Amino acid sequence: MLRFARFLFAPLLLIAIAVLVLALTSRPATQPAVLAAFADQPLVIAHRGGKGLWPENSLFAFERARALGVDMLEMDLQLSSDGELVVIHDSTLERTTNGQGAVVAHSVAQLQALDAGYRWSADGGASHPYRDQGIAIPTFAEVLERFPGMPKVIEIKAPDAGMAAQLCTAIVANDQQDRVLVGSFHERSLQSFRQHCPLVATSAGPGSIRLLLALNWLGLGSLLSPSYQVLQIPERHSGVQIASPRLLRTAQARGLNVQLWTINEQPAMRRLLEQGAHGLITDYPDRALQLLGRSTQLGALDQ
Ligand code: G3P
Ligand code: CA
């Protein structure tokens, strides 16, 4: 027994020293400029421009969401065959447009000739009110030109790191460093973006989220020194609860702005805000604005 205790002493001592060093040197995240203007108000973020209300990732959606009064526009980036950043969620065209095949197999001219309002329906496909209304797939350059003052959540959908440098160049050229927050499910793309644009705010990639979950589970959340400023997470993923009240407390204590996706029902919105969520990424920003007692002006949009 004594020999066993001696055997464990050295590794346990090393672990204790490592934890102590990490605890003494860990630094919380600082608030990024893109969020500084909002003070403490909960953020309403239009997921893909508010895909429950109008065709996703379109200039039409972004215009309407801005007019509605949302705080941030969320959008997704893919690359065209001729190397242009285009705003579309899927890597293929079938779900949202009248086109077929891979986005990356089409030039930007071919993509912009498609009808991006073709598939949208509010009644399960019985009607398609946005067909033939001139709604196109926007380029990222068009979005930057049309919405320079609007805070934007930009998601890199490309799995390789190639898009990151191009995105950083576009952000800097348009003086958008303090207007954007960049995220990705692809860790390599995100790390590449941070190398190119270290001063632009980013959200946690999947590896960082897993580390945070593990530290939180072990009660060691205070050791975290995030390389990101924002935590964008679902409430549950693959049947596992991600956004527990305890995780939200840990994230807050580490200086992170916590934004939940994709929250479409008001009871869930209310519950998550009560638990300390800072932002709601939603297909129905009108519902979030109404819940928060903010004017929605949906009727005025049709005049
Ligand atoms: O921020 C992540 C959120 O956008 C959810 O992902 O699939 O809708 O792009 P997705
Ligand atoms: Ca997205």
89 lines ligand 1 (CB under 6 A): yes
What per-residue confidence (pLDDT) applies to 302? 61
Is the CB of 74 within 6 Å of ligand 1?
Answer: yes
* pLDDT for 99 beyond 60: yes
Tell me the per-residue pLDDT of 160-186, one tens digit each, with 9 for 90 and over: 778 999 999 999 999 999 999 999 999
Task: Report percent pLDDT > 90 for the chain.
Answer: 84
Higher-scoring residue by pLDDT: 143, 301: 143
Residues lying with their CB under 5 A of ligand 2, a single-atom ion? 76, 155
All structural domains of the chain with their residue ranges: 30-77+150-292
* Predicted model pTM: 0.93
Is the distance from the beta carbon of residue 281 to the nearest atom of ligand 1 less than 6 Å?
Answer: yes
Distances 185 to 44, 190, 233, 247 between C-alpha atoms, Å? 21, 8, 11, 20
> What is the per-residue pLDDT across 18-55, written as a single tens digit (0 to 9) for each?
777 777 778 999 999 999 989 889 999 999 999 999 99
CATH of region 30-77+150-292: 3.20.20.190
In tens, the pLDDT along 54-91 reads: 999 999 999 999 999 999 999 999 999 999 999 999 99
Give the pLDDT confidence score for residue 16 in this predicted structure.
Answer: 79
Alpha carbons 140 and 134: distance in angstroms, whole number: 18
pLDDT digits (tens, 9 = 90+) for 266-277: 999 999 999 999
